[in-house]
């Protein structure tokens, strides 16, 4: 193999696009040609430096809103039907517009949101989608949400309790931006989704299973929480208990 060929093909080698027979040929060339070997080494180093998502951009929340607003609102008819009963007039549209999710929703809407939460959870597990901000420090993760959401999700470090904080993410559920705080227990990821609710009343937790995932849902002090994970029900319940316990003792970051 000539250097000229190798200089093209070594990229395919690095990118894993080369078939097995060519892999052997290119590797044989690299073993015998110092110049091409240096290039291959440098390209690998560069690739390493560029992995990890640091070169990506995040779409501004305002742009996301504008695009969302331009999409036909598939969910609106059902929710309007629910809201009609309240007869709040314009006040209702104002509430609907501020992102108060899930308080006047019918059960089929609640089921739809659960499905969306599971979809968001699954999306987050794809490579590079889990966290927008990676940190085990609650004082790094919490400020990251500032200005991205109209609520400030509590971020609690539960490492000592066996649930490691690994970061935060902006996600989209029910056509709205929603905060996700990400924890890990062994190999299991827990996405804790946090959204505003109109009710300040505390609502005790319940656990549902949706598409094989457990969702623990509770409300407290004006916030709706959904913890989604493939963890077993009792372990997810433990997570929720630890989280709520820490909230009560005021250790939120």
Partner 1 sequence: MPVKIVDNDPEQARRFRELAMPHLDDVYTLARYLLRDAADADDAVQECYLRALKHFHSYRGPAIKPWLFAILRNVCRAEFARRAGAPSTGADPLPEDSDQAPMWHEDQDTPEAEIVKQHDSGTIRRLIDTLAEPFRETFVLREIENLSYREIADVAEVPVGTVMSRLARARAMLRSAWLAEQEKSK
Q: Which stretch binds partner 1 (CB under 8 A): 22-30, 41-49, 213-221, 232-240?
A: 41-49
Binding status of residue 175 toward partner 1 by CB under 8 A: yes
C-beta of residue 85 within 8 angstroms of C-beta of residue 106: no
Among 28, 31, 67, 110, indicate the residue that binds partner 1 (CB under 8 A).
Answer: 67
Binding status of residue 147 toward partner 1 by CB under 8 A: no
Q: Which stretch binds partner 1 (CB under 8 A): 4-12, 91-99, 136-144, 224-232?
A: 4-12
Considering the complex, what minimum distance in angstroms separates the CB of residue 251 from partner 1?
A: 32
Among 31, 68, 88, 209, indicate the residue that binds partner 1 (CB under 8 A).
Answer: 68
The sign of the dihedral angle between the CA atoms of 42, 44, 47, 49 is negative
Binding status of residue 49 toward partner 1 by CB under 8 A: yes
Binding status of residue 45 toward partner 1 by CB under 8 A: yes
The phi and psi torsions of 189 (rounded to 5 degrees) equal -95, 140
Among 1, 12, 105, 246, indicate the residue that binds partner 1 (CB under 8 A).
Answer: 12
The closest alpha carbon to 228, from 205, 207, 202, 197, belongs to 207
User: Under 8 Å CB-to-CB from 249, ≥6 apart: which residues?
Assistant: none
Among 39, 83, 96, 198, indicate the residue that binds partner 1 (CB under 8 A).
Answer: 39
Binding mask 125-144 for partner 1 (x = CB under 8 A): --xxx---------------
User: Under 8 Å CB-to-CB from 169, ≥6 apart: which residues?
Assistant: 124, 129, 130, 131, 132, 133, 179, 180, 182, 191
C-beta of residue 185 within 8 angstroms of C-beta of residue 162: yes
The closest alpha carbon to 2, from 24, 23, 32, belongs to 32
List residues near partner 1 by CB under 8 A. Answer: 7-9, 11-12, 15, 17, 34-35, 38-39, 41-43, 45-47, 49-50, 54-60, 63-64, 66-68, 70-75, 77, 119, 123, 127-129, 172, 175
């Amino acid at each position: 193999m000539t250097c000229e060929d190798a200089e093209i093909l070594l990229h395919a080698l690095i990118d894993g696009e080369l078939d097995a027979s060519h892999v052997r040929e290119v590797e044989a060339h690299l073993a015998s040609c110092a110049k091409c070997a240096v290039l291959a080494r440098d390209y690998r180093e560069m690739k390493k430096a560029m992995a990890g998502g640091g070169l990506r951009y995040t779409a501004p929340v305002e742009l996301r809103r504008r695009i969302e607003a331009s999409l036909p609102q598939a969910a609106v008819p059902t929710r309007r039907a629910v809201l009609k009963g309240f007869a709040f007039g314009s006040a209702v549209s104002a509430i609907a517009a501020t992102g108060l999710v899930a308080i006047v929703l019918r059960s089929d809407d609640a089921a739809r949101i659960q499905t969306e939460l599971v979809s968001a959870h699954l999306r987050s597990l794809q490579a590079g989608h889990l966290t927008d901000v990676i940190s085990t420090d609650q004082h790094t993760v919490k400020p990251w949400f500032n200005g991205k959401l109209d609520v400030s999700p509590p971020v609690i470090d539960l490492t000592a309790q066996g649930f490691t904080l690994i970061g935060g993410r902006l996600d989209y559920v029910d056509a709205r931006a929603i905060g996700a705080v990400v924890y890990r227990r062994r190999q299991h990821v827990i996405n804790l989704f946090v959204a505003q609710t109109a009710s300040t009343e505390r609502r005790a937790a319940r656990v549902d299973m949706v598409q094989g995932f457990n969702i623990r849902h509770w409300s407290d002090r004006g916030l709706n929480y959904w913890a989604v994970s493939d963890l077993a029900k009792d372990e997810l319940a433990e997570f929720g208990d630890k989280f709520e316990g820490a909230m009560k003792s005021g250790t939120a970051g």
